[in-house]
Chains A and B, each alone.
Chain A
């Protein structure tokens, strides 16, 4: 495990969690625009001519917000419980297994800030991975090998028990339904990165 790998994981989880958790804003788009490496991960987006023809506000109002509303609010359901529960109902009250996990690790989700109805939203779960990656970086900087290993186990377990149980299904649907290159590529990136990251964590643990 290298510091670049850790930082790349932090960035990539940050990128895809932000993309999935709420509508994009100009600040977020600017970061992508100014970073050729990130843009290279979104090839259709990078070659989309409307980016040059429309202002950021126009892109958001006419394209991105419309697509986000369709993908995350109206037609697809970006919540784990919808995919994993028999009745396909979002677990939005009481305590969910995921909430218990967050609690156990001393985290809580500010649902009002996230503007989601449950802690098992895709964007929230991805941000949780981002937090765990940040923690890995701290462990790495402190030369805490046990901590690094424990965090790797937690991350792999979280992918096993949660994200990989359902996110691929959602992301395949999202890719199919997306009408903007940003969300289409974002779905593909997230899907491939999650699979890749799972292999990466497995190899780390094995080693």
Chain B
């Protein structure tokens, strides 16, 4: 930003001593001043010292770990009252003193976003110790966990908001069931019990699976929103033998993951932010509000403190772009062109000493350039496609470099500036900074650039490519590695505590509703299309006629902390499907809050928030392996003080009921009980043994049993627990140690992990967090293979390099695959090497790499590319609607950003209502429109708009009456306004009816947890700061990665008098046709020639599959 102030003029230096001379500033200071001091001469001062740690002098943020079971601290009012030297500590003789709270700090993990920062729940135990009444136990605050290696005791606003979420005035206090005789969506609910619900649901699942045919194993879907745990959910579907684990990933990040899989054979990268010299961010994330937000932002701040530069490439001036050293406002979806421009310069230019800019040592050793150079047929193909101009005759590394020089030479400054709409001087500056940082460039490929577009995965792949050229992908200090080495998942690995004693078998079925034959390379299940599949009879009949068995309905649909109706594109299609009991026979949501999806379910089963459930997780936040352990704070506190549940397998539910939180449970105990007592009580389905306790087979596993076994998979953790005097004699040492700490650092400073030698210890090789039998190790070409311990499954585990057997990367070549050879065999040969179309002819041919919001589609003056993918830093998808303070600070923060000059051109002023109409560039159809508020700003690239798709919640009733419950039960009162909805099978509309302020204040008596909600009556916002734009957006599945390409081509105009901000109008019949157009015009489906569903090396989440499941057999 250019400042217009002349800062050089030393006006005060000349006049400094004249402030008090010669001039009388007639304004009285008393008029100016705010007046925040109060005289307290009549308040006695206390000399007595309070018995707390935060007295006088320095403030310690966290008490020593040894004091976590009992820690005394003055009540938060002390600072408002002049500190402890005034008023003293409350006692019988000093009733006006400040209260001294006794806390137990129970470590847990935030459940609001994927960063999964450590928390400590500060459970007030003083009153309980006296009364022994669990209802006296309350969590008073949530702070960070200083032991947590990722978050380091710090949290963002969402972490601290956990308290307000816990004591949400509209919290669902018990399981709800749709009233008999009512229809889904009618809003009639009755109270039910967990056992009644489990009985009905368990029977339905049992009866479905008892049939035992292929269709039955495709008829149950467990649809998990952001899991925030590591692997437990996978085991649910797997132990039932169903291919029915659905993820949210294809609306989140699958484009980024596809690029990573193609290039590095794994899921996502892992970055050493803190030691980098250049943080080069694509899209809004990391330092803003995206992946690993708070933890990553802290590490980025550390790096900048040491002198690192920050570059943010984003059409929108995000928070991080605003404080970056360089903001690169780029046309959305053209990022690959920019990366390849950098590649061109790196290949074709020299440094100031005349040396090559390519880090040859790394590139030659760690990329599969040799595979490309040997594949003459493919090189010929590349030539025929116009990607290269001539086929090299030689096969040497030097020939490869020459090939690359020529291939990327057309990505000139002029081309790139025009294509990316970035000023040439900005590109020059970026290149300079990129080169200056040597191999210490840190990045993370996620969000808008990678999942907003058709071909977004290439933005990842091209990014990795250019980082490889400079050696940043070596996994060294300050550079980039991959998730495999920095993450460890054991949440679903408590097998040793069960009767079966081993993990459930591979799945022997392939569910086309999860992984359709049109997109064999999709990284995750395109679950945002589930209702489209279920309601597309023509599609299903076509494939079934050719030999597949695709179900026409689901017997049980069970979202888990997921709100597919609201968050997915084409939400009216979801509602249409969920309303139909012939398509989804039984539905329930394991959900802590009300949601738009819950409104259409048969059951809402309230599960816990961040401090109310058990989960293990691990995330690749820095070059280390560490885990977090989420826990129900009230339960842990009670148990540590001697309380015991009546049923040891239901401790969390009982603790929450006893302490007055409500009938709030958790998934681990719920599913274990379901499997053993309701779904498979006689063991005939083969599921029971995987959940029944080895200690007592009549019941399911307990939390202590499960996690003690799960943590045994972490060698260093288990070793410490067994040798730590505090836990060594415990029955469950691993569990108890993690119960106290909430986190564990298994290994730190994990650098250059691909170079780790494969060494056998006592006949076992540890690699990829698995055990392999050393005796089965063999070398096949240069690839090292071995069988998994206690299994006949053989896997590639490394490669031979310089005479040593080392791990290598996870690709077939065990190197970074500049040439993803497998894509050749899977119909996408032209995209096997990083590329981006250079002209109209190539764009027509390579349509899969051209974003649906490419500037070529902007034909009219009012056409724009709408960027929807960014979070407000204090909102998280659908999980923060229950927090007053997060909702409050979100108000009016989500307008449509429009460039000042575009706004002027179109006559749009600040706060004008505008109509945003979405149309599709593949089918030419119009989806509909939403009405939003415009804010002209210099902080966005002209021609593009921005509006986060994380706002615009709605509800259809302010509250519901539950028979037998003394008060109305509020529905998302803090975060969702009331709307009128209409839908007729073709058109759906929403219109705002009542704001949050009026909705909450008219039912004050319904607020729960009054002690924690004293300030709810000062709600001032109506909440209409976003429209439900997700429902207007049609499903746009990327034909390769399978992710929904979120960004939209829109046209805008001033809205009419009758329009209100928040209105939406959707032709969802058109949206179905748009999805079908993307599917039919852009994908390359499997054919009768294909015998496999997917390349076997190309990991398919979330559970192993048999060869039978992988096999594909259809008639032509």
Verify if B12 is at the interface (C-beta below 8 Å from A).
yes
Stretch at the interface among A14-22, A143-151, A153-161, A162-170: A14-22
Q: Is A196 an interface residue (CB 8 A)?
A: yes
B40 touches A107 (CB 8 A): yes
Evaluate contact between A11 and B16: CB separation under 8 angstroms: no
Whether B1003 is near chain A, meaning CB under 8 Å from some CB there, is no
Q: Does A80 contact B (CB under 8 A)?
A: no
Kindly state the separation between the CA atoms of A103 and B37 in the bound complex, as whole angstroms. Answer: 11
B1020 near A: Cβ within 8 Å?
A: no
Residues on B with beta carbons closer than 8 Å to the beta carbon of A107: 37-40
Question: Is B41 engaged at the interface, CB distance under 8 Å to the other chain?
Answer: yes
Number of residues of chain A lying within 8 A (CB) of chain B? 70
The dominant DSSP class at the B interface is: loop
With beta carbons under 8 angstroms apart, the residue of A5, A37, A128 that contacts B20 is A5
When the two chains form the complex, which single residue of A96, A131, A199 contacts B83, counting CB atoms closer than 8 Å? A96
Q: How far is the CA of A134 from the CA of B163 in the complex (A)?
A: 44
**Considering residues B26, B52, B61, B910, which has the most beta carbons from chain A within 10 angstroms of its beta carbon?**
B26
Min distance, Cβ B725 to any Cβ of chain A, angstroms: 32
Contact with B along A114-156 (1 / 0, CB 8 A): 1000100001100110110110000000000000000000000
| B34 close to A10 (CB less than 8 A) | no
Please indicate the chain A residues that have their CB under 8 angstroms from the CB of B910 in the complex: 62
B59 within 8 Å of A (CB atoms): yes
A9 contacts which chain B residues (CB < 8 A)?
A: 20
Query: Given A95-B85, A99-B82 in contact, is the A17-B34 Cβ separation under 8 Å?
Result: yes
Would you list which residues of chain A between 95 and 119 have a CB under 8 Å from chain B?
Answer: 95-97, 99-100, 102-103, 106-114, 118
Does B545 touch A at the CB level, under 8 Å?
Answer: no
B-chain residues with CB within 8 Å of residue A12 when the two chains form the complex: 19, 25, 29
Q: Nearest chain A CB to B3's CB is how many angstroms away?
A: 7
Complex formed: what's the CA distance from A132 to B648 in Å? 65
Using Cβ atoms and an 8 Å threshold, which residues of chain B touch A118? 79
Of the listed residues B19, B21, B38, B41, the one surrounded by the most CB atoms of chain A closer than 10 A to its CB is B19
CB closest chain-B residue, reference A106? B41
Complex-state Cα separation, A193 to B15, whole angstroms: 10
Say yes or no: A127 contacts B83, CB within 8 Å.
no
Minimum Cβ distance to chain B for residue A14 (Å): 3
B61 pairs with A89, CB closer than 8 A: yes
Establish whether residues B38 and A8, one from each chain, have CB atoms under 8 Å apart when the complex forms: no
Q: Which residues of A contact B226 (CB under 8 A)?
A: none
The answer, yes or no, to whether B23 is at the interface (CB within 8 Å) is yes
B86 on interface, CB distance cutoff 8 Å: yes
Tell me the minimal C-beta distance from B82 to chain A in angstroms: 4
How far in angstroms is the closest Cβ of chain B from A90? 9
Q: Taking CB as reference atom, which chain A residue is nearest B319? A: A74
Cα–Cα, bound, A123→B209 (Å): 69
Cβ-closest chain B residue relative to A112 = B80
User: In the docked arrangement, what's the CA distance between A37 and B57, Å?
Assistant: 42
Q: How far is the CB of A33 from chain B (nearest CB, A)?
A: 11
Binary contact track B1000-1042/A, C-beta < 8 Å → 1, others 0: 0000000000000000000000000000000000000000000
Q: Is B11 an interface residue (CB 8 A)?
A: yes
Q: Which of B25, B56, B85 contacts A8 (CB 8 A)?
A: B25
- Are A93 and B54 closer than 8 Å at their CB atoms? yes
Partner of B3, one of A11, A91, A131, A179: A179
Could you say which residues of chain A place their CB within 8 Å of the CB of B58?
A: 85, 91
Q: Is the CB of B32 within 8 A of A28?
A: yes
Q: Interface code B45-85, partner A: CB below 8 Å = 1, 0 otherwise?
A: 10000001011111101000000000000101011111111
Could you tell me the distance between the alpha carbons of A131 and B38 in the complex, rounded to whole angstroms? Answer: 11
Size of interface on B: residues with Cβ below 8 Å to A: 55
Q: How far is the CA of A8 from the CA of B52 in the complex (A)?
A: 44
Say if the beta carbon of B323 comes within 8 Å of chain A: yes
- A4 & B20 in contact (Cβ 8 Å cutoff): yes
**Separation of A106 and B85 alpha carbons in the complex (Å):** 11
Is A110 within 8 A of B24, CB to CB?
Answer: no
Asked if B323 and A75 sit within 8 Å, CB to CB, the answer is: yes
CB neighbours (8 Å) of A14 from chain B are: 27-33
User: SS class of chain A's interface: helix, strand, loop or mixed?
Assistant: helix
With A134-B30, A199-B17 already in contact, the answer to whether A175 and B37 are too (CB < 8 A) is no
The residue in chain B whose Cβ has the minimal distance to the Cβ of A15 is B32
Do B28 and A11 touch across chains, with their CB atoms under 8 A apart? yes
Q: Does A44 contact B82, Cβ atoms closer than 8 Å? A: no
Closest A residue by C-beta to B53? A94
- A83 interface residue (CB < 8 Å to B): no
Chain B residues, Cβ within 8 Å of A184: 5, 7
Q: Report the separation of the CA atoms of residues A112 and B52 in the bound assembly, to the nearest whole angstrom.
A: 24
> Within the assembled complex, what's the spacing in Å between the Cα atoms of A128 and B23?
23
Contacting residues of chain B (292-345) with chain A, CB-CB under 8 angstroms = 323
With both beta carbons as reference points, the residue of chain A lying nearest to B28 in the complex is identified as A11
B310 CB, min distance to chain A CBs, angstroms: 14
B11 to chain A minimum Cβ distance, whole angstroms, is 6
Are B85 and A21 neighbours in the complex by a CB distance under 8 Å?
no
Return the CB mask of A182-195 against B: 1 if under 8 Å, else 0.
Answer: 00100011011101
Is the pair B36, A94 in contact by a Cβ cutoff of 8 Å?
no
Do A95 and B19 touch (CB < 8 A)?
no
Asked whether B55 lies within 8 Å of A8 as measured between CB atoms, the reply is: no
B40 and A37: CB pair below 8 A?
no
Contact check, B27 vs A111: say whether CB atoms are below 8 A apart.
no
What B residues does A82 contact at CB under 8 A?
none
Contacts A10-B28, A11-B27, A94-B78 given; does A123 touch B40 at CB 8 Å = no
Q: Does B790 contact A (CB under 8 A)?
A: no
Asked if B20 and A108 make an inter-chain contact with CB atoms under 8 angstroms apart, the answer reads no
Asked if B27 contacts A35 (CB within 8 A), the reply is yes
Say yes or no: B34 contacts A127, CB within 8 Å. yes
B56-A94 in contact (CB<8A) = yes
Question: B79 near A92 (CB under 8 angstroms)?
Answer: yes
Q: When the two chains form their complex, are residues A109 and B37 in contact, meaning their CB atoms are under 8 A apart?
A: yes
A42 to chain B, nearest CB (A): 10
Choose among A44, A85, A94, A113 the residue that contacts B84 (Cβ–Cβ < 8 A).
A94
Report which of B5, B6, B82 forms a contact with A108, defined as CB distance below 8 A: B82
Known contacts being A18-B32, A44-B6, A103-B85, is A110 close to B37, with CB within 8 Å?
yes
How far is B32's CA from A123's CA once the two chains are assembled, in angstroms? 12
Partner of B25 from the list A11, A43, A92, A108 (CB cut-off 8 Å) is A11
Interface centre among A38, A85, A191 (most CB of B within 10 A): A38
Please state if B55 and A130 are interface contacts (CB–CB under 8 Å).
Answer: no
Interface pair B36/A13, CB less than 8 Å apart: no
Q: With A93-B79, A108-B40 given, is the CB distance from A31 to B5 under 8 Å? A: no
A196 adjacent to B23 (CB under 8 Å): no
- CB of B935, distance to nearest CB on chain A (Å): 10
Residue of A21, A96, A108 ringed by the most chain B CB atoms within 10 A: A108
B647, chain A: closest CB distance, angstroms: 41
Does A127 contact B37, Cβ atoms closer than 8 Å?
yes
A38 CB contacts on chain B under 8 angstroms: 25, 27
Please give, as numbers and ranges, the residues of chain B lying within 8 Å of A134 by CB-CB distance.
29-30
Residues from chain B with a CB closer than 8 A to the CB of A112 are: 80
Q: Quick check: A130 and B59 within 8 Å, CB to CB?
A: no
| Contact, CB under 8 Å: B33 / A17 | yes
Query: Is the Cβ of B24 less than 8 Å from the Cβ of A94?
Result: no
Interface string of B78-108 (1 = CB under 8 A from A): 1111111110000000000000000000000
Tell me if A65 is interfacial: C-beta within 8 Å of chain B: no
Instruction: Determine if B36 and A110 form an interchain contact, defined as CB atoms under 8 angstroms apart.
Output: yes
B1 within 8 A of A: yes
Known A99-B82, A112-B80, A134-B30; judge A37-B25 contact (CB<8 A).
yes
5 additional contacts (CB under 8 A) given A10-B29, A103-B83: A31-B31, A31-B32, A100-B83, A111-B80, A196-B16
**11 CB-based A-B contacts, threshold 8 Å:** A7-B24, A14-B27, A15-B29, A91-B58, A93-B54, A94-B59, A94-B79, A97-B57, A110-B38, A113-B36, A133-B29
* Chain A contact residues, CB within 8 Å of chain B: 4-5, 7-15, 17-18, 21-22, 28, 31, 35, 37-38, 43-44, 62, 75, 85, 89, 91-97, 99-100, 102-103, 106-114, 118, 123-124, 127-128, 130-131, 133-134, 175, 178-179, 181, 184, 188-189, 191-193, 195-197, 199-200
Ranked nearest first, the 8 interchain pairs of A and B with the lowest CB-CB distance are A14-B29, A10-B29, A14-B32, A95-B83, A94-B54, A114-B36, A192-B12, A11-B25
